[in-house]
Amino acid sequence: MSPPPGGPGASRATGEVPAGGPRPAVFLDRDGTVIEHVSYLSDPGLVRLLPGAAAALIRLRRAGFAAVLATNQSAVGRGMITEGRLREIHAELERQLGREGTSLDGIYYCPDAPWDDDGLPATASRRKPGAGMLLEAASDLGLDLAASWMIGDLMSDVLAGLNAGCRSILLAPGRPPEGDDEGPAPGPYLTAPDLAAAADLILAGHAGAMAAARTAARGISPP
Q: Catalytic residue numbers?
A: 29, 31
**Which whole-number Å values give the CA distances from 94 to 3, 54, 219, in the listed order?**
22, 10, 44
Amino acid identity of residue 104, one-letter, is L
| Cβ partners under 8 Å of residue 208, min gap 6 | 183
Peptide bond into 44 cis (omega under 30): no
C-beta of residue 11 within 8 angstroms of C-beta of residue 87: yes
CA 61 vs CA 64, 183, 198, 205: distances in Å: 5, 20, 14, 15
